Amino acid sequence: MNFGIYVEMQNPEQYKKPHAQVYREILEQIEHADKRGFSTFNTLEHHWFEEFSISANPMALYSAAAQHTSNIRFRTCSHVLPLHNPMVFAGQAAVTDILTGGRFEFAVGRGHAWVFPKASIPLEESRGRFVESLEIIEKALEEEVFSYHGKYYDVENVRVVPRPTKKPRIFTGGASNHNYELAGKKGWGVLITPMLPLEHVLGQLDIYRKSCKEHGNTPDIVYVQALYLDDGGERARKEAEPYILQFMKGNVSPAKELPPKEEMIKKDFGFYASGALESLADIPYQKLIDDEYVWVGSPDEIQPKVKKVIEACPDLSEIALLCTYAGMEHWKTIRTQDLFSQQIMPHFQENKEEALVRY
């Protein structure tokens, strides 16, 4: 079993840090995670909503971190394709692949409904732009010269340079069943977000496995889990409460700028009209722990939870741990990495070289 690190880079007003400090601390956390044997560093691409994330250019972050690390891979969860010119994105992805020594991989997504007004992109264009961008990026990474004729992009004899050392691994995820069907068809991996317990997404994973089987592909599942560790379980649960509650609040904070519900339903964003996302911020802290939205406790308490997820989810290739929270001291993230890598990881990862072989 592989174990990674996931960071959202939330920076709410209540716990605001200088942006440069946030990035310095994240770079130190990546370097430390590499030394402790974590397989991947994961973050998202998100713009304009600081309480949610200030991770506006993950490929630049990876390129910087790669200069101070040796083994850890870098994965975006995910790039919002409708925001990008796909011919330009493909070249940037190739540069990132080169500068990270082939350690770059990424997930693709249509994006949250709230980003499109800020980007001056009509909501109804997001699906079509996503589909065309994805088709172009795949062509650009696989073919020396390509042409494409669609509704939003019309190009002839384009050659993206530089060329990547190899085509990066691709993932997807999110709330749409369509994404899981597409991932199975394409042979991609899927990412389970840190906002939901595993049992909430088992149905979508079944869709993914069925699609993989129909198209002759092997399932590859990455499960992202929020975590807070301390030597003492009671102390961990007491300390973590404000960080966990702010994490949930930050994830739903942009919802206050969503378009009207009628418009979202009409334009293929029904999930955001349902109110399901906003309800996550109202879940009491103890219920978040009891229902395993988050893992909070000592290593001895968390180890069985890791085992439970591994046993409950065939085809699981990695658990990526979110252990950086707004308002929390930097050293506490380092402590969680240390405790997990020293007291939990060895029980599920007997041989580091074997764990990394699929990469």
pLDDT at position 232: 95
- CA-angle at 61, arms to 356 and 296, nearest 5°: 65
pTM of the model: 0.92
Would you state the pLDDT for residue 354?
46
**Bridge partners for 294 per DSSP:** 226
Backbone angles phi, psi at 327, to 5 degrees: 90, -10
Alpha-carbon distance of 181 to 348, in angstroms, equals: 30
How much is the pLDDT for 283?
A: 93
- CATH 3.20.20.30 correct for 2-355: yes
Q: What is the amino acid identity at position 351?
A: N
Show pLDDT as tens, one digit a residue, over the chain (359 residues).
Answer: 999 999 999 999 999 999 999 999 999 999 999 999 999 999 999 999 999 999 999 999 999 999 999 999 999 988 999 999 999 999 999 999 999 999 999 988 888 888 888 999 998 999 999 999 999 999 999 999 999 999 999 999 999 999 999 888 899 877 678 889 989 999 999 998 887 788 888 889 999 999 999 999 999 999 999 999 999 999 999 999 999 999 999 998 888 888 888 888 888 888 787 887 888 889 999 999 999 999 999 999 999 999 999 999 989 999 999 999 999 999 999 999 999 999 999 999 765 444 444 43
The pLDDT value given to residue 356: 41
pLDDT confidence of residue 263: 86
pLDDT at 353: 47
Residue 222 bridge partners (DSSP): 191, 318
User: What tokens appear for 235 in the block?
Assistant: 């102390």
What Cα–Cα distance (Å) separates residue 312 from each residue in 175, 185, 201, 306, 344? Answer: 20, 23, 12, 10, 18
32: number of Cβ within 10 Å: 17
How long a stretch of residues is the chain? Answer: 359
How confident is the model at residue 352, as a pLDDT?
A: 45
Nearest to 22 by CA among 53, 62, 48: 53
Sign for the CA dihedral angle at 237, 241, 243, 247 comes to positive
Q: What is the pLDDT of residue 174?
A: 73
User: Domains of the chain: which residue ranges?
Assistant: 2-355
Looking at residue 166, its pLDDT comes to 86
Tell me what pLDDT residue 350 has. 65
